[in-house]
Amino acid sequence: MAARKRSAVVTAARWLGLVAAAFIALVVLNVTASGPDLPDFRASGDPAELPVTGTLPIVELPQFEAMIVGARGRPIIVNVWGSWCAPCRAEMPLLQDAFETYGDRVVFLGVAGNDSRDGAQRFLRDLDVTYANTIDESGSILRALEVDAFPTTFVFDAEGTLVIKVEGGVSEQRLAGLLDDAVR
């Protein structure tokens, strides 16, 4: 009788352990799959071209939206950065390498925020960044995208819909995964 009771307790404990493990796995999967909450952002307006490399124009939200509209047809990576930001400095060469690999299939656009134009231009020059960049001096783009951390990387699908927001630095593996998913 004691052996049966012990066996029933062991079986119940195993089931409880499996249920707990399944619950934890679902919570972890949900957190990693969804990432930070996406802002309610949808670009609109007439399409506009991306800025010429090396120009770093001052851009307000309507011009930024026009660039996103103008890039429809290809996925878009938008990286918000600052020249004063150490993780941004570490991440930028990865983005440049990705641009050199995926630039024919994915649009890359950098947005300098909370920065001076001189500091941002020096940063891009020092790191040999060759994809399009702008500067958001007013903070209107950062507010619309609900940027809470530097760097923050956004992925827009080919229709211009914001699908992913990654706060903080992106590893080479994470960036490759984002880009591979974007071009599928």
**Per-domain residue ranges of the chain:** 1-34, 61-183
Please tell me the distance from the alpha carbon of residue 177 to that of residue 114, in angstroms, as a whole number. Answer: 28
The pLDDT value recorded for residue 7 is 60
The neighbouring-strand residues paired with 107 are 76
Report phi then psi at 28, rounded to 5: -60, -45
Give the Cα separation of 163 and 156 in Å (integer).
6
72: Cβ–Cβ under 8 A, 6 or more apart, which residues? 47, 158, 159, 160
Fold of 61-183: Glutaredoxin (3.40.30)
How confident is residue 87, by pLDDT bands cut at 50, 70 and 90?
very high
Answer whether 0.85 is exceeded by the pTM: no
Which segment of 28-32, 167-171, 176-180 scores lowest on mean pLDDT?
A: 28-32
pLDDT at 19: 34
Q: Determine the pLDDT at residue 133.
A: 98
Question: What is the predicted pLDDT for the residue at 8?
Answer: 56
pLDDT tens digits for range 27-50: 333 333 445 799 999 999 999 999
8 A C-beta contact, residue 115 and residue 138: no
pLDDT at position 29 is: 37
pLDDT in tens, 110-160: 999 999 999 999 999 999 999 999 999 999 999 999 999 999 999 999 999
Asked if 55 and 125 touch (Cβ cutoff 8 Å), the reply is no
| Residue 154, C-beta contacts closer than 8 angstroms, at least 6 positions apart | 76, 77, 78, 79, 80, 145, 162, 164, 165, 166
Residues 43 and 107: beta-carbon distance below 8 Å: no
99 near 127, Cβ under 8 Å?
A: no
The rounded Cα 168 to chain-centroid distance in angstroms is 9
In which band, very low, low, confident or very high, does the pLDDT at 99 lie, cut at 50, 70 and 90? very high
pLDDT at residue 33, as a whole number: 43
User: SS3 of 4, please?
Assistant: helix
| Helix-helix angle 86-102:172-183, to 10 degrees | 40
Return d(Cα 44, Cα 30) in angstroms, integer: 30
